[in-house]
């Protein structure tokens, strides 16, 4: 039985990934923020398929979350898969962004890459295998007016992905990321109806990605793409072509 740990597990993409991995026999440690009701509902659903444990973590807490990570390692022992799915976005002019929003973006989108990875990687090294996957964004490598701080955070994830892959490849640990364009989740709620309509109109496929499509690519990278590492795979319906 394989163990997977997922951050942002109650989000649209995170929950789709959790469902896909549960269907394929992975035991799950699901990390979420404040959506307790959503977490309990997801846990009840997936517990019919596999072992599931929930952990609520406040990535913005100045006290950190090392104690909770110790509990997770005691509960599971080791992990074959780590998925960095937690993420938020604020949309405004960079020079007008409140400091609180900037700090929250960095705390949720960037800092867990360090704190959680360093806790999980030693068990992967000991087992001689592992896969780390991140949910990035097309704005990690393309200009993102009105979302500068978000783009900064996703650019950090992309360099994290490539550099860590270089560091761990000799230990048979793969590190990759998916960079979606528009995905049909609550993350796009910061767009008005007209902005969302115009965004979709600019996508050659004329639709947003479904979270399940992101989950399908995650499973491919875990089960089939075993010779792939250090890559950020764009999945945007042709938007950036």
Catalytic position from the list 32, 55, 65, 150: 150
**R_g over Cα of the chain:** 17
**Whole-angstrom Cα distance, residue 138 to residue 48?**
35
SS3 state at 241 = coil
**115 assigned to active site:** no
Render the burial of 197-234: b for 16+ CB within 10 Å, e for the rest.
Answer: eeebeebeeeebbebebbbebbbebbeebeeebbbbbb
Measured CA to CA in angstroms, residue 153 lies from 37, 103, 137, 236 at distances of 28, 11, 10, 19
**Which residues sit opposite 53 in a β-bridge?**
29
For the annotated catalytic residues, the residue numbers are: 150
């Amino acid at each position: 039985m394989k163990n997977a740990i997922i951050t942002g597990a109650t989000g649209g993409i995170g929950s789709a990934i959790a469902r896909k991995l549960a269907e394929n026999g992975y035991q799950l440690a699901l990390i979420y923020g404040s959506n307790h009701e959503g977490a309990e509902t997801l846990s009840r659903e997936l517990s019919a398929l596999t072992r599931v444990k929930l952990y609520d973590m406040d990535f913005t807490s100045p006290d950190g979350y090392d104690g909770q990570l110790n509990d997770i390692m005691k509960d599971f022992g080791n992990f074959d898969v780590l998925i960095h799915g937690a993420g938020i976005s604020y949309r405004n002019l960079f020079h007008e962004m409140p400091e609180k929003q900037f700090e929250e973006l960095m705390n949720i989108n960037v800092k867990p890459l360090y704190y959680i990875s360093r806790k999980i990687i030693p068990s992967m090294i000991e087992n001689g295998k592992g896969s780390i996957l991140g949910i990035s964004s097309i704005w990690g490598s393309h200009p993102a007016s009105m979302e500068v701080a978000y783009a900064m955070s996703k650019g950090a994830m992309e360099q994290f992905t490539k550099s860590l892959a270089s560091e761990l490849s000799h230990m048979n640990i793969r590190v990759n990321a998916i960079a979606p364009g528009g995905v049909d989740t609550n993350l796009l709620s910061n767009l008005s109806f007209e902005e969302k309509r115009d965004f979709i109109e600019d996508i050659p496929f004329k639709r947003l990605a479904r979270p399940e499509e992101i989950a399908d690519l995650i499973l491919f990278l875990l089960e089939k793409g075993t010779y792939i590492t250090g890559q950020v795979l764009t999945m945007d319906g042709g938007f950036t072509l």
